């Protein structure tokens, strides 16, 4: 016999007595410490897209570009137009 279990609550595992099927289901409130997809990283620090774009608790910043943060808007020496 094999016992299957999950300890973090992200996955439920069940098997009924009248079937050999083992059923795995993901939690609707899936929780992880971090996630990486391609060059996008999501963790407790925020969201980073590649090496140039970051969204964190203080706002959005783009390397050598504009920033919208709690301290204000910085156009990154770029022209603001079509306003």
Report yes or no on 66 lying in a domain.
yes
Residue 29: closest CA among 5, 6, 9: 9
Residue 7 has pLDDT above 80, yes or no: yes
Residue 51 lies in a domain: yes
* Average pLDDT rounded to a whole number, residues 10-37: 91
Residue given tokens 């299957």 in the structure block: 4
Residue 64 lies in a domain: yes
Is residue 60 included in any domain, yes or no? Answer: yes
Question: Residue 55: which domain range?
Answer: 11-74
Q: 55-71, pLDDT tens digit by residue?
A: 999 999 999 999 999 99
- Structural domain includes residue 37: yes
22: in domain: yes
Query: Does residue 58 lie in a domain region?
Result: yes
What is the value of pTM for the model shown? 0.68
Give the CA count within 13 Å in the CB-facing half-sphere of 72.
3
Q: What is the pLDDT of residues 17-27, one digit of tens each?
A: 899 899 999 99
> Is 29 a member of any domain?
yes
* Domains of the chain: total: 1
């Amino acid at each position: 016999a094999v016992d299957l279990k999950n300890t973090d609550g992200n996955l439920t595992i069940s098997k009924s007595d009248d079937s050999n099927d083992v059923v795995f289901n993901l939690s609707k409130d899936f929780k992880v410490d971090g996630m990486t997809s391609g060059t996008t990283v999501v963790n407790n620090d925020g969201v980073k897209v590649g090496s140039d774009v970051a969204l964190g608790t203080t706002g959005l910043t783009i390397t050598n570009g504009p920033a919208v943060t709690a301290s204000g808007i910085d156009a990154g020496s770029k022209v603001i137009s079509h306003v």
